[in-house]
């Protein structure tokens, strides 16, 4: 069977790495990984995205867009902003939102799909994101998918197969797919070891714990 090419947004974080492996495992799909150098706080994830694409033997494109020069209200774009230590569902975590990030990235992915006559774009939105990140919710995904289909001659679909799955589910899927979790990075800080205290570290550790698995990453604080 000839595999049909599709585009997968791959940041190098846990969610999108699991998604890329998940799509790759299908007999009928061949992912092209798409990453963004958008002025994020650190490049650890981007380097891991390169590793994952290389390991899977898939094409990988990195697009440079200057979101850090455009937006001044996100802790993910500004190294000086302190990361709030609260739970990932806490209102304070809104400081980690990059305005409209997923729509911006998806719009490039959809354009690239249209250019290559590809009809599917995947991204790794999941249920735990819903509390803080509006562009990870079904209420966004559904009209976004519709807008994409109407904006393109190839009728490009936007798909988020994990939208109703939790981070716990994703770690479980990754485990079954035999993913080396050392090739994924979640911590908002870009230090040698994951901090273990920021919201995304807490969420990741919780997801491993609920699966009765050990996260192989090294943490400053466990």
89 binds a copy of itself (CB under 8 A): no
Give the span between the Cα atoms of 17 and 33, in whole angstroms: 10
> Does 10 participate in binding a copy of itself (rule CB under 8 A)?
no
When asked if residue 137 is in the footprint of a copy of itself (CB under 8 A), the reply is: yes
CB of 205 to a copy of itself, least distance (A): 28
d(CA 30, CA 94): 35
62 contacts a copy of itself (rule: CB under 8 A): no
Q: What is the Cα–Cα distance from 148 to 162, expressed in whole angstroms? A: 19
Our finding on whether 84 is near a copy of itself (CB under 8 A) is no
For residue 65, state whether it binds a copy of itself (rule: CB under 8 A). yes
Based on the shown chain and the rule CB under 8 A, indicate whether residue 81 belongs to the binding site for a copy of itself: no
Comparison of 111 and 161: residue with beta carbon closer to a copy of itself: 111
Joined tokens for residue 51: 């590793």
Contact (CB, 8 A) for 146 and 113: no
Give CA angle at 218 (58, 186), nearest 5°: 50
Residue range at the interface with a copy of itself (CB under 8 A); choices 18-26, 138-146, 169-177, 205-213: 138-146
Tokens for 165, please give them: 């799955």
């Amino acid at each position: 069977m000839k595999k049909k090419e599709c585009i997968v947004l791959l940041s190098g974080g846990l969610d999108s790495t699991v998604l890329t492996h998940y799509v790759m495992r299908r007999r009928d799909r061949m992912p092209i990984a798409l990453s963004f150098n958008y002025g994020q706080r650190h490049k650890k994830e981007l380097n891991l995205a390169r590793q994952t694409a290389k390991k899977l033997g898939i094409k990988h494109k990195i697009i440079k867009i200057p979101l850090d020069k455009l937006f001044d209200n996100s802790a993910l774009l500004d190294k000086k902003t302190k990361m709030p230590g609260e739970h990932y569902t806490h209102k304070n975590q809104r400081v980690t939102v990059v305005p409209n990030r997923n729509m911006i990235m998806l719009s490039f992915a959809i354009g690239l799909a249209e250019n290559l006559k590809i009809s599917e774009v995947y991204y790794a939105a999941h249920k735990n994101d819903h509390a803080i990140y509006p562009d990870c919710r079904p209420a966004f995904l559904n009209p976004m998918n519709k807008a994409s289909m109407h904006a393109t001659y190839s009728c490009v679909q936007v798909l988020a197969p994990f939208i109703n799955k939790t981070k716990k589910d994703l770690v479980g899927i990754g485990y079954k797919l035999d993913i080396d979790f050392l090739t994924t990075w979640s911590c908002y800080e870009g230090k040698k070891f994951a901090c273990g205290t920021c919201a995304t570290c807490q969420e990741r550790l919780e997801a491993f714990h609920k699966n009765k698995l050990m996260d192989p990453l090294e943490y400053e604080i466990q």
